[in-house]
């Protein structure tokens, strides 16, 4: 396998819990960078403090990024969910994304990495125009933007380490499924993004599977076949911010 680069993105971060602490401690102990996608409107004060402390103690091992604004579904017609998409005007999208950006800056100041992750991976051309206009450095959905972005690194997390239930909620995957997805992606080369939701890990077996998958990445890195990086490194942003 040729050398590839991998990044990890943990979505729906807004409150601290034991699963978050356990996975975050494991990642940091093994020097695995993680991009934490925070829901601005739901963020709890204690979790904001946890993330600030973590970023200050190991700035190169995590990026605190914006995950929409309220993380609600505006697609009342059914089908694919989106907070930002075809049913929302430029003004509406700009207003909400800007409000989320201001909330992130208020909570994290220079510790906030200006990266935007659309909830449900939903977006349209209007969303991309807003992301460019607001000066984000990274856009990360579940697929490529489909058009060139000016001044914005397009870093999709195309490999989901979760499955989805019939109601659209994420669910944990077994280790063989995660490994199969990773190996197929690695054949393509380049930058591979992995997305997961720590909130779906509730069973001991699920946590064991997730850690074993992360160890798989660590072994590839140790063998020189894989590089792991966060958004700051991939987009050329200095992660060492003065506060």
Please give the pLDDT value at position 241. Answer: 57
* Residue 237 contacts residue 153 (beta carbons within 8 Å): no
Closest CA to 170 of 214, 213, 201: 201
3-state secondary structure of 137: coil
Strand duo 153-154 + 170-172: pairing? unpaired
Cα dihedral 41, 43, 48, 51, rounded to 10, equals -110
The CATH code for residues 4-234 is 3.20.20.370
Residue 240 has pLDDT above 70, yes or no: no
The pTM for the full model equals: 0.95
User: DSSP states of 15-45 as a string?
Assistant: S--HHHHHHHHHHHHTT--EEEEE-TTT--H
| Residue spans per domain, the chain | 4-234
Render pLDDT for 68-116 as a digit per residue (tens, 0 to 9): 999 999 998 888 999 999 999 999 999 999 999 999 999 999 999 999 9
Render pLDDT for 150-199 as a digit per residue (tens, 0 to 9): 999 999 999 999 988 877 788 899 999 999 999 999 999 999 999 999 99
H-helix or E-strand spanning residue 114: strand 112-117
């Amino acid at each position: 396998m040729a050398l590839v680069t991998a990044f990890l993105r943990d979505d729906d971060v807004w409150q601290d819990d034991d699963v978050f602490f356990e996975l975050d401690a494991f990642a940091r102990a093994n020097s695995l960078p993680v991009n934490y996608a925070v829901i601005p409107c739901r963020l709890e004060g204690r979790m904001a403090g946890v993330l600030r402390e973590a970023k200050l103690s190991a700035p190169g091992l995590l990026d605190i990024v914006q995950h929409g604004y309220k993380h609600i579904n505006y697609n009342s017609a059914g089908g694919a969910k989106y907070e930002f998409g075809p049913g929302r005007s430029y003004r509406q999208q700009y207003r909400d994304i800007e409000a989320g950006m201001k909330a992130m800056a208020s909570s994290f100041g220079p510790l906030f990495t200006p990266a935007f992750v659309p909830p449900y991976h939903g977006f349209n051309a209007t969303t991309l125009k807003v992301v460019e206009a607001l000066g984000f450095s990274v856009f990360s959905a579940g697929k490529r933007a489909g058009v060139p972005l000016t001044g914005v690194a397009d870093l999709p997390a195309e490999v989901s380490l979760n499955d989805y239930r019939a109601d659209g909620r994420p669910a944990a995957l077994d280790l063989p499924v995660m490994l199969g997805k990773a190996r197929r992606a690695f054949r393509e080369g380049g930058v591979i993004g992995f997305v997961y939701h720590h909130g779906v890990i509730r069973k001991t077996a699920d946590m064991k599977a997730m850690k074993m998958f992360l160890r798989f990445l660590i072994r590839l890195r140790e063998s020189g076949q894989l590089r792991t990086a966060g958004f700051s490194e991939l987009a050329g942003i200095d992660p060492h911010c003065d506060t």
